[in-house]
Amino acid sequence: MPLDEAVKKMRGKPDTKITLTLVREKTPKPIVVTLTREIIHIDVVKSALYDRIGYIRIAQFNETTEKELLKAYNTLRQQAGGKLAGLVLDLRNDPGGLLDQAVEVSSSFIRSGEIVSTRARHPKDSQRWDAHGTDITDGLPMVVLINGGSASASEIVSGALQDHHRAVLLGTRSFGKGSVQSIIPIPGNGAVRLTTARYYTPSGRSIQALGIMPDITVKETRDDPGLSLREADLEHILKNQGGNTTKPQPRTDLPAIAADIPNEPPANWPEFDYTKPSTDFQLQEGLRVVRSMAGLPAPAPAVPAAPAPKTPAKTDGAQHQ
């Protein structure tokens, strides 16, 4: 059954119930769940404070993402009494969205230089976006969390922060959506979403079908295979071409603690529960790295509650606004 047909069957009036039977590869019996339909309100940006380390989660890049980011950061700074020591930016399972918002978010942490460029079929249609000269954190240590669900606009942000050595990327390889879609109006109040260009990171990398590799590889669980489906696995994808094919040089500015970060949780690590950040291994290791960069002591065992990402149903491409 096509996805849109399945969605139509599942949708209904708010406060009505639907029963779903789920079949999973590693689960011997089907799982039956009863859900209550609701109108979904997406919180684009969520935040939490861990001692003096700020945590900001971006779920997607829509028209309000940059404003919500600034609001969340200012709130964290107030909660920390103006003494924030570092920041964790969580882009895991962020499917992307608007290109201009990816540029604005990147410019919130990078003072100068290129953020991203796009190259279309005709050279005259190529574009470049530069930073605006403002780092809202004034250079605080940063870690960016990425995984196989980080796509498109979130890869633009993580790629820019990595190329400028502005942040340390931690997690697993991203999705690899390196194309730009434009919405082209057509007669009759219609429109066509057309892939019009590839985008490139400041160093000239095209991540199309390749993705962004983190500086520190950390799996979510011991048996985590990563996202099973990436851009490279799809049919009729755009080829990775036109970018800098030179293998990037290993970073020499990583904190010393990077060598001590394990690439997977220990055997006794608790099962992940999104309501309990203490079970989020990637987040906890990201906090360790930021604290080390900020010169803070190791965190206490108890970790306060904070929001964590849920896996989305699909990824969207970045698009011109």
Assess contact for 151 and 311: CB atoms under 8 A: no
Q: Which of 94, 150, 158, 177 is catalytic?
A: 177
Verify whether residue 215 is a known catalytic residue.
Answer: no
Q: How far is CA 184 from the centre of its chain?
A: 27
Q: Rounded to an integer, what distance in angstroms lies between the CA atom of residue 273 and that of residue 303?
A: 13
What dihedral angle (degrees, nearest 10) is formed by the CA atoms of 168, 173, 174, 179?
110
Assess contact for 51 and 63: CB atoms under 8 A: no
Instruction: Tell me the DSSP string of 222-246.
Output: TT----S--GGGSTTPPP--SS--S
Look up tokens 């119930």; give the residue: 17
Mutual orientation of helices 99-107 and 153-163 as an angle, nearest 10°? 30
Angle (nearest 5°) at CA 122 between 119 and 128: 35
Phi and psi (nearest 5°) for 71? -65, -45
Q: Which of 107, 152, 179, 292 is catalytic?
A: 152
Q: What Rg, from alpha-carbon coordinates, does the chain have?
A: 20
Residue 52 tokens, joined: 């003096």
Verify whether residue 26 is a known catalytic residue.
Answer: no
| Residue 281 vs residues 43, 163, 170, 175, 286: alpha-carbon distances, Å | 23, 25, 11, 20, 8
Q: Which of 100, 163, 280, 316 is catalytic?
A: 163
Strand arrangement, sheet containing 168-171: 45-50, 53-58, 86-90, 142-146, 168-171, 216-217
Q: Rounded to an integer, what distance in angstroms lies between the CA atom of residue 114 and that of residue 304?
A: 37
Q: Rounded to an integer, what distance in angstroms lies between the CA atom of residue 142 and that of residue 137?
A: 9
Verify whether residue 71 is a known catalytic residue.
Answer: no
Which residues are the active-site residues?
Answer: 152, 163, 177
